[in-house]
A = this chain, B = another copy of it.
Amino acid sequence: MTAAHAVSPNLALDEAVNRRHAAGQPLIHLGFGESRLPLPDFLAERLLAGARRTAYGPVAGAEDSRAAAAGYFTRRGLLTEAEQIVLAPGSKPLLLALMAAVDGAVVLSQPCWVTYAPQARLFGRPVLEVPIPAGCGGVPDPDLLPGALRAFRAAGGRPRMLLLTLPDNPTGTHAPPDVVRRLCEIAEAEDLLIVSDEIYRDILHDPADPYASPAEFAPERTVVTSGLSKSLALGGWRIGFARFPATAEGRALRSTVLGLASEIWSTLAGPMQEVACLALAEPPEVTAHLRASTRLHGAVADAVHRIVTQAGAVCRPPTGGFYVYPDFEPVRDVLAAKGITGSAALQEHLIDRLGVAVLGGEHLGDDPGALRFRAATSMLYGADDAERWAALRSPSPLTLPHIAETLESLRAAFTRLTS
């Protein structure tokens, strides 16, 4: 009765995790890209204040919420009007609507977030995957992209959208401004729409680290998507937003996305729009909470990076978000002796033998034969809100007993893996 449709790769991992839990076996869960941070009271209070928003309201979101999002972008150097904004229940449906709206193939980084390719396939959009450069993830290697596009076009392909992730899931890194500029020049030459997924934008570990959105270099052809799921750890509240170019083409694309939105999700829930009004206005309580969260994300990601590299992996140093993406190629022989010759076996060995849940690289579009996986480091902050508040408030969270012990267990697991 139903068309075949694969379930998300996360589900298989979840099942393995649940099996271990059911068996009472210990587990260090690095498999799920969720920011496990506690909820500040000011967000709960604002949610309640938004309860009165029971009407459907405009598909794009109310004027005040869109104005707040416009202010958010304007403070980041992208002058923005409320009319350029669309809010949605997460950035996921916005990305989906963009895939539906733009006829043609989608250019993705390899590896990239699990959801982009299935979304594209849902509307019959072909996908061109281009490997990431050595220095960072979230973008196709600008040295490879022109050739890949040439070959794709020669084979009859029609690329229309270039999807970038800044900072990136799964690598936890972000492309430096000169790489972003080169990609924008290629997009210009190839007439590609750029969709820049910047949902980790506010988790840049070092605020002094140079960061540029493609919307700075190619404003007329860049749509930026973002949301509060990662920065404010509100994944379960489903608050996303997008910024469209302030051009006739940008307005037309936004209008198409709104038409699709009216048939897919109607609008972002009113109380969540109220929360967006607060969060995107960035009053001091919000910025202080973001700063503390980012400091914690950076410290723990760094610690896990040290653990995997000391165990023999090569790994890009994390610069944003809460991931590391190690490559155990240097110890391939050691792993092969244990029967591990690809990312599926590596994922399975880590969870079943060593009690560490990670997501194998092949689920992220990477070469199944590569010894790479994504570790989400944001699950290590504590088992309950008290531990997580302590982690958030500590000037040196790695020294807190509950974090130090987990990291020590993780170190032991990876030492066993490669010895």
| A residues lining the B interface (CB < 8 Å) | 1-3, 5-8, 10-11, 32, 34, 36, 39, 43-44, 47-48, 51-57, 59, 89-90, 92-93, 96, 100-103, 115, 118-119, 122-123, 160, 193, 229, 233-238, 249, 252-253, 255-256, 258-260, 262-272
Contact = CB atoms under 8 A, between A and B. Distances in A.
Contacts of A2: 101-103, 252-253, 256
Nearest to A385: B52
Given A5-B259, A265-B93, A269-B236, A47 B51 contact: yes
Contacts of A48: 44, 47-48, 51
Contact of A5 (B115, B118, B256): B256
A314 to B, nearest CB: 31
Given A2-B103, A101-B3, A269-B272, A233 B54 contact: yes
Copies, count: 2
A43 B249 CA distance: 42
A131 B264 CA distance: 26
Contacts of A39: 51-52, 54
Contacts of A92: 263-266
B249 A5 contact: no
A49 to B, nearest CB: 10
Nearest to A237: B269
A226 to B, nearest CB: 15
A137 to B, nearest CB: 21
B51 A36 contact: no
A196 to B, nearest CB: 16
26 contacts: A1-B160, A1-B253, A2-B101, A3-B100, A3-B101, A3-B256, A8-B263, A39-B54, A44-B51, A55-B235, A55-B236, A89-B265, A92-B264, A92-B265, A93-B265, A96-B264, A100-B122, A118-B263, A122-B260, A236-B269, A237-B269, A237-B271, A238-B267, A238-B268, A238-B269, A269-B269
